[in-house]
């Protein structure tokens, strides 16, 4: 049998190559190549091991004719086009915990560096100035740290900050009161955090929701003298606004490990008084790099040699026997979870997963995993069907599974119920033709829809002419409708319109839909 071939394309601890070889893979280490060079080379490889420098785009995946697995020695996978990898059948794995402590420690180091202006004081002292009177610092003891994102790294930062006798207030839509109490932090909403924090530190992935989370408007509402740290992802902060507010003195200090554009070689922030930066060093300790290198090589080799799946972001872990029966239900479950995640606002505290009829005869754990993965995927890049139940438990989400005999019209039904701040809401779906997922109930309104691609969700008052007005509004804006699904509570009552479109709907068109008479709720969805 020929050995699987692995390419390590980013600088990685040498333990990774050793493990690949010990586990029966051939390995090449070729770092720093251009995309064109990687495109020319990638066709030879079964596995690609990366950190954050290699961008695995759709073009690279197109050329990767033998590729079976991409392993990220680290956490963030925003440099991998996961939908493109999935559609090519390439498994994407990461190492969700290996560098968390190290990154949290970097955030704490930057908080201390800001409080005492250590980099500037160091530079001027070594230049022979002895500027003892120019660097009055602040104590962190008793100060309020605003934590945006209370996942793995955020929780470690909170524990260290509490040790420094800071008060920690945290904003995270998935943080429950119980988990906040366990962490010793006060759960707050984002606006309260912005107004109360003396220091702010970011620990979220970069998603459509978190992009620009520290916008100009929010930065302007921070406390005068606030100090800000970002060791998560560039793009979370409006860098131009940060520069203006540092210049005006409203923001006393900012420390960035990550930038919207990396490598950052000419940022306008460079040289601004109060500004500190490091070149994406959050994960750069010997300990973390050994952890992630060993783990990624073990996981990738296990997949290439034995077919075992661990920490995959786009594939469930399943035995060969169960897989074919469960897969269509899992696809349905993932879509229902994703729908609820996109539509339910506020803090989710309880999730009920009811499986009825044919599906209830199977092992429903993967169905639960798929619902939770769908539900949480907009909050965390690292979530998958394997780790979603664990993450839900860790965050204190109350997950209830119920299986029952067939009761209603459908041979099989999967229902997802969530308790939100607006009360209980539920959606349900079934399989058509044994394999095709279909939504059949949305918040108590019967409908029949395939959840796929870009979609538009509208709640409106049922009235003559409404559907035509939405159709012509989309047509006027050059947006082609793929499928069109309708449901209503009763004639003249609340109605739901769910349609698939051939391209994402921009903000301007969303606003026009919002302004259409009779519209109560509008949301762009993506599956």
Ligand X SMILES: O=C(O)C(=O)COP(=O)(O)O
How far apart are CB 458 and ligand X at their closest, in Å? 37
If we measure between CA atoms, which residue out of 65, 67, 22 comes closest to residue 49? 67
DSSP state letters, 171-192: E-TT--HHHHHHHT-EE--HHH
Is residue 348 part of the contact set for ligand NAI (CB under 6 A)?
Answer: no
Q: Considering only residues 44 through 83, tell me which ones interact with ligand X, judged by CB under 6 A.
A: 51-52, 74-76
Nearer to ligand X, 143 or 203 (CB): 203
Number of helices (H) and strands (E) in the chain: give both, helices first: 17, 22
166-185 positions binding ligand NAI, by CB under 6 A? 171-174
202 Cα distance to chain centroid: 14
- Which residue in 71, 98, 146, 154 binds ligand NAI (CB under 6 A)? 154
**Does residue 324 sit in helix, strand or coil?**
helix
Is residue 345 annotated as part of the catalytic site, yes or no?
no
Q: Which residue is nearest to ligand X (CB)?
A: 74
Please give the helix or strand (H or E) that residue 155 lies within, else none.
Answer: helix 152-163
Q: Is 205 a binder of ligand NAI (CB under 6 A)? A: yes
Catalytic residue among 33, 178, 186, 262: 262
Task: Count other C-beta atoms under 10 Å from residue 147's C-beta.
Answer: 30
Please tell me whether residue 311 binds ligand X under the rule CB under 6 A: no
Cα–Cα distance measured from residue 123 to residue 323, given in angstroms and rounded to the nearest whole number: 60
Q: What is the DSSP letter of 76?
A: -
Catalytic residue at 262?
A: yes
Instruction: Determine, following the binding rule CB under 6 A, whether residue 379 of this chain makes contact with ligand NAI.
Output: yes
Is 421 a known active-site residue? no
Detail the DSSP E strand segments found in 14-82.
26-29, 47-50, 69-72
Number of residues that bind ligand X (CB under 6 A): 10
Q: Exactly one of 280, 395, 415, 485 is catalytic; which is it?
A: 280
Taking only Cα atoms into account, the Rg of the chain, rounded to an integer number of angstroms, comes to 25
Could you say which of 85, 283, 332, 373 contacts ligand X (CB under 6 A)? 283
Which of 47/74 has CB closer to ligand X?
Answer: 74
Contact window for ligand NAI (CB under 6 A) among 34-42, 110-118, 145-153, 427-435 = 145-153
Q: Is 203 in the site for ligand X (CB under 6 A)?
A: no
- Given the residues 51, 227, 233, 485, the one annotated as active site: 233
Residue 387 lies near ligand NAI (rule: CB under 6 A): no
Q: Is 150 one of the binding residues for ligand NAI (CB under 6 A)? A: yes
**353: contact with ligand X by CB under 6 A:** no
**102-114 b/e (C-beta count within 10 Å ≥ 16 → b):** bbbbbbbbbbebb
C-alpha–C-alpha distance, residues 115 and 3, integer Å: 53
H-assigned helices in 215-274: 216-220, 239-248
Tell me the catalytic residues. 233, 262, 280
Q: Which residues bind ligand NAI (CB under 6 A)?
A: 74-76, 99-100, 103, 148-154, 171-174, 203-205, 209-210, 231-233, 257-258, 280, 282-283, 379-380, 382
Q: Which residues bind ligand X (CB under 6 A)?
A: 51-52, 74-76, 99, 280, 282-284
């Amino acid at each position: 049998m020929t050995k699987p071939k692995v390419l390590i394309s980013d600088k990685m601890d040498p333990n990774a190559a050793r493990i690949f070889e010990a586990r029966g893979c051939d390995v090449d280490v070729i770092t720093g190549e251009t995309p064109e060079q990687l495109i020319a080379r990638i066709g030879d490889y079964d596995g690609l091991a990366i950190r954050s420098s290699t961008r695995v785009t759709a073009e690279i995946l197109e050329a990767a004719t033998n590729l079976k697995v991409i392993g990220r020695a680290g956490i963030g996978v925003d440099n991998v086009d996961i939908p493109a990898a999935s559609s090519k059948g390439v498994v994407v794995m990461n190492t969700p915990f290996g560098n968390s402590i190290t990154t949290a420690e970097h955030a704490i180091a930057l908080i201390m560096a800001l409080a005492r202006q250590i980099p500037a004081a160091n530079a001027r002292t070594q230049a022979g100035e002895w500027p003892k009177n120019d660097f009055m610092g602040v104590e962190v003891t008793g100060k309020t740290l605003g934590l945006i994102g209370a996942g793995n790294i955020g929780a470690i930062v909170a524990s260290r900050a509490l040790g420094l006798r800071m008060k920690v207030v945290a904003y995270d839509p998935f943080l429950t009161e119980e988990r906040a109490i366990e962490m010793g932090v006060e759960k707050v909403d984002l606006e309260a955090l912005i107004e109360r924090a003396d220091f702010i530190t970011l620990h979220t992935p970069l998603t459509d929701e978190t992009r620009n989370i520290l916008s100009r408007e929010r930065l302007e509402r921070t406390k005068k003298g606030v100090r800000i740290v970002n060791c998560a992802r560039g793009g979370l902060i409006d860098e131009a606004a940060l520069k203006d507010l540092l210049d005006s003195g409203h923001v006393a200090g900012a420390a960035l490990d990550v930038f919207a554009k990396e490598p950052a070689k000419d940022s306008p922030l460079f040289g601004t008084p109060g500004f500190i930066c490091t070149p994406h060093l959050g994960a750069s300790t010997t300990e973390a790099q050994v952890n992630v290198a060993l783990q990624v090589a073990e996981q990738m080799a296990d997949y290439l040699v034995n077919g075992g799946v661990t920490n995959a972001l786009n594939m469930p872990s399943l035995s060969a026997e169960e897989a074919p029966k469960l897969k269509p239900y899992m696809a349905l479950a993932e879509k229902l979870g994703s729908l609820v995640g996109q539509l339910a606002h506020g803090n989710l505290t309880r999730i009920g997963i009811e499986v009825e009829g044919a599906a209830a005869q199977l092992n429903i754990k993967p169905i639960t995993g798929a619902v939770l993965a769908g539900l949480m995927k907009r909050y965390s890049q690292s979530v998958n069907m394997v780790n979603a139940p664990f993450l839900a438990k860790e965050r204190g989400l109350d997950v209830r599974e119920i299986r029952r005999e067939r009761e209603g019209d459908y041979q099989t039904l999967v229902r997802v119920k969530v308790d939100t701040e607006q009360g209980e809401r539920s959606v349900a779906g079934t399989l058509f033709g044994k394999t095709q997922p279909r939504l059949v109930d949305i918040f108590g309104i019967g409908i029949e829809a395939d959840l796929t691609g870009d979609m538009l969700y509208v709640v409106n008052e049922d009235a003559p002419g409404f559907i035509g007005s939405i159709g012509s509004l989309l047509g006027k804006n050059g947006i082609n409708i793929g499928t069109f699904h309708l449901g209503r509570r009763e004639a003249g009552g609340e109605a739901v319109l769910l349609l698939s479109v051939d391209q994402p709907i921009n903000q301007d068109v969303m606003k026009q839909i919002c302004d259409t008479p009779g519209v109560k709720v509008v949301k762009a969805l993506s599956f």
